[in-house]
A and B are shown apart, each in its own frame.
Chain A
Amino acid sequence: MNKELTKYYSAGHSACAGCGFPAIVRTVLGELKTDVVIANATGCLEVTSTLYPYSAWKAPYIHNAFENAAATISGVERAYEALKKKGKISKNKKIKFVAFGGDGGTYDIGLQSLSGALERGHNFLYVCYDNGGYMNTGNQRSSATPYGAFTETTPTGKESFGKIETRKNLMEIVNAHRIGYLAQANVAYLTDLKKKAKKALETDGPSFLLVFSPCTNNWKFPTSQYVNVGKLATETNFWPLYEIENGEHKLNFEPKKITPVTEFLKTQGRFKHLFKVENKPHLEEIQKLVNEEFARIANLCEE
C-alpha cells in the first residue's frame, strides 16, 4: 500500500474495481497543508468507505445525511471559530474543512444546503465528484445525467431514447454565489486537478470543485477504462476544464483538434441505443448541445 497516497483515505474501501473517485479524493486531500475535517454526503464514496466495522478514513470524518454535507461542515467550521475565540483551541492551529458529495448529494438533494453554506461564506472546500446518477442504488437518473443516457428510471426502447432533459449547469449556479474560486476538473487530468485543489484549499472562504468521475458499473465500460473515458470527455469538449477565479474565467485545456462527441459516447453502454438509425437526431442534438456549451464557456474565457 502506498503510504503517501493513503495518508487520509486508506485502501480496503469497497468501491468497485476501476472506480474513478478514489483518485479524486487522494489528489485533493494530498494538497492539504494543515489539519482537516471532512464531511461527506450519502453516496458511493460514503457507502463504500465506511463499511462497518471498518472506516477507510484516517482523518476526522462526518457522515450526516444525504442533503446536508455542506450544512454539517459549516457547523463544524463555526464550532472551530467559537472554540478558538474561547481559547480552547490554540489561535495558531489551522484547520481546513472539506466536504465531499456525489452529484446526487450536490446537484439534487444537497443543493439548498450547499447554496446556504456558500452564501454564508464559510471557510470550506466543497468537492463534487460527478458520475451522472445515483450509482450505488443501481443507476437512477439525477439532474447531472446527460441527455440521452440510459438509466434505470429513463429506460430506452420504442417509446424512449433515454433521458430527455439536459444536464443542470451546476457551475453556473455555484458561480452565482460569487465565491472566490471554483473550477471544473476531470479525474483523467490529475495534474490539472492537483493545481485546482491547491488553489481551492488556499482560498479564504468557500471554494468549489466539480470533478468528472466515470462510473465503470453503470456507464457500462470495462473496469480498466476510467482514465480513457475521462480523457475523451475533455477531448470532445463534453467536459471542458476551466476555472473561475475572482470572477475571471480561464480555460485550462483546449483540444488541438476537435473530436466528435460520438467518440466519447461510443465507449459507454449507456449510450449504445443512440447509435441506432432512428436515434440519429438525438446524437446530432448532443453534438449541438456540446458545441453551444463549449462556445459559451470559451467566449466567457476570452473576455
Chain B
Amino acid sequence: MEHGAVIKHDQKKSPKTGAWRYMHPEVDKEKCIGCATCVPFCPEASIEMKKHKEGQKDKADIDYEYCKGCGVCAEVCPIKAITMKKK
C-alpha cells in the first residue's frame, strides 16, 4: 500500500514569520488594564498575559519571534495601550 507523506510537528523547522514585520506593536504596560481582549484575536498567538509588577494584574506581553505586525492587537485594544511603531 502506498502511504501519503507524513510530517511531524517540529517548531524548529517553522518559518520565523517575525521577519515579515514592517511595523511592530508596543504595549504600554502602565496603560494596559490586563483585559486580555487582544490575546485570542492575534493570528499568530503571539500575545501572553505576563506578570508585570507585584500586586498588579497580568499585562499583555508580545513575543516578536512570530508576530507578523498585522496590527490587529492595537486595533482591538479598548484603551489603545498598544501602538504600532516602525522599526
Q: B-contacting residues of A (Cβ < 8 Å)?
A: 1-3, 5-6, 10-15, 17-20, 22-23, 26-27, 50-58, 190, 216, 222-228
Task: Give chain A nearest CB distance to B40 CB in angstroms.
Answer: 5
Closest 6 CB pairs of A and B: A12-B14, A224-B71, A18-B70, A17-B68, A17-B70, A11-B66
On whether A12 and B45 interact (CB within 8 A), knowing A27-B40, A54-B7, A54-B13, the answer reads no
Of chain A, the residue at the smallest CB distance from B44 is A11
Q: Are the C-beta atoms of B72 and A224 separated by less than 8 Å?
A: yes
Task: Give chain B nearest CB distance to A292 CB in angstroms.
Answer: 32
Q: Are the C-beta atoms of B7 and A5 separated by less than 8 Å?
A: no
A–B Cβ pairs within 8 angstroms, 28 of them: A1-B46, A1-B48, A2-B45, A2-B46, A2-B48, A10-B11, A10-B14, A11-B14, A11-B46, A11-B65, A12-B14, A12-B15, A12-B17, A13-B17, A17-B68, A18-B70, A50-B7, A52-B7, A54-B7, A54-B13, A56-B14, A57-B9, A223-B70, A223-B72, A224-B70, A224-B71, A224-B72, A225-B75
- How many interface residues does chain B have, given as a range? 20 to 34
Expressed in whole angstroms, the Cα–Cα distance for A226 and B9 within the complex equals: 28
A-facing residues in B64-85 (Cβ within 8 Å): 65-66, 68-72, 74-76, 84
Q: Are the C-beta atoms of A223 and B71 separated by less than 8 Å?
A: yes
Q: A-contacting residues of B (Cβ < 8 Å)?
A: 5, 7-11, 13-17, 20, 39-48, 63, 65-66, 68-72, 74-76, 84
Of chain A, the residue at the smallest CB distance from B68 is A17
Cβ contacts under 8 Å, B74 to chain A = 224
* Interface of B, helix, strand, loop or mixed by DSSP: loop
Of chain B, the residue at the smallest CB distance from A3 is B48
Expressed in whole angstroms, the Cα–Cα distance for A3 and B11 within the complex equals: 13
Of chain B, the residue at the smallest CB distance from A188 is B41
Cβ contacts under 8 Å, A3 to chain B = 48
On whether A22 and B7 interact (CB within 8 A), knowing A1-B65, A14-B17, A223-B71, the answer reads no
Q: Specify which of B47, B66, B72 is in contact with A12 (CB 8 Å cutoff).
A: B66
Q: Are the C-beta atoms of B66 and A1 separated by less than 8 Å?
A: yes
Q: Are the C-beta atoms of B45 and A54 separated by less than 8 Å?
A: no
Cβ contacts under 8 Å, B72 to chain A = 18, 223-224, 226-227
On whether A190 and B70 interact (CB within 8 A), knowing A11-B14, A12-B15, the answer reads no
Cβ contacts under 8 Å, B10 to chain A = 53-54
Expressed in whole angstroms, the Cα–Cα distance for A55 and B14 within the complex equals: 8
Q: Specify which of A19, A51, A216 is in contact with B15 (CB 8 Å cutoff).
A: A51
Of chain B, the residue at the smallest CB distance from A231 is B76
Expressed in whole angstroms, the Cα–Cα distance for A286 and B13 within the complex equals: 46
Expressed in whole angstroms, the Cα–Cα distance for A226 and B41 within the complex equals: 9
Q: Are the C-beta atoms of A22 and B14 separated by less than 8 Å?
A: no
Of chain A, the residue at the smallest CB distance from B10 is A54
Expressed in whole angstroms, the Cα–Cα distance for A154 and B63 within the complex equals: 40
Cβ contacts under 8 Å, A22 to chain B = 43-45
Expressed in whole angstroms, the Cα–Cα distance for A172 and B74 within the complex equals: 37
Expressed in whole angstroms, the Cα–Cα distance for A22 and B68 within the complex equals: 13
Of chain A, the residue at the smallest CB distance from B61 is A2
Q: Are the C-beta atoms of A23 and B70 separated by less than 8 Å?
A: no
Cβ contacts under 8 Å, B47 to chain A = 2
Cβ contacts under 8 Å, A17 to chain B = 20, 43, 68-70
